Amino acid sequence: MIWSEPRLDRLVTADSLDLGKTWSEPQLLLPEGQPVKPQAVFFTALATLPEGGLLRIWQDTAQSGCALYQQQMEPSSAQWSEPLRILEELDACPDGSKFFTSQGQLYWFWGEGTSSLWFSAWDAANARWSQPQFFSFSFQDEETNRQVQ
């Protein structure tokens, strides 16, 4: 779980490895010296890695552009890695995103309605996401000569 602690002007996290029966002590999500504004976390996601670890991803809206961060937890430990900025090339952050696993590979996709889709694959060997690929499903209707999105 990730939340904004306005008294500290910080993001805080706590974890449960037993379906919420017990919780870890709250920890600061971003390192010291990186304060955030209250309600600066807009997008949060948790994905299960095919090899058994976890990824948590969030957007820091206090920064300009799409400032996405992630942390990874290996299956052998209950410790999250240091926050890492990801997908810095994105102009707009994911909206309505989903994760899925197929044949041992984790994928992340997001889009705007039915007209477009962004797609990225998890590179487990390098612990990073692939360059996002954009797919557009809009087309020209031959009868009406209108663009369908």
Residue 79 · residue 15 · CB < 8 Å: no
Cα separation of 116 and 135, whole Å?
Answer: 6
The confidence score (pLDDT) of residue 147 equals 75
The confidence score (pLDDT) of residue 121 equals 93
Sign of the CA dihedral with 6 first, then 73, 131, and 96 last: negative
User: 3-state DSSP call for residue 30?
Assistant: coil
Q: CA angle, 142 as apex, 149 and 111 as ends, to 5°?
A: 15
How many angstroms separate the first and last alpha carbons of the chain?
36
pLDDT along the chain (149 residues), means of 10: 67 74 76 51 76 83 79 80 86 81 89 75 89 81 78
- pTM, whole model, 2 decimals? 0.67
Residue 89 · residue 106 · CB < 8 Å: no
* Strand positions, DSSP E, 15-141: 27-28, 41-48, 54-60, 68-73, 84-86, 98-102, 105-112, 116-123, 128-129, 133-136, 139-140
Cα separation of 54 and 74, whole Å?
Answer: 7
The confidence score (pLDDT) of residue 38 equals 45
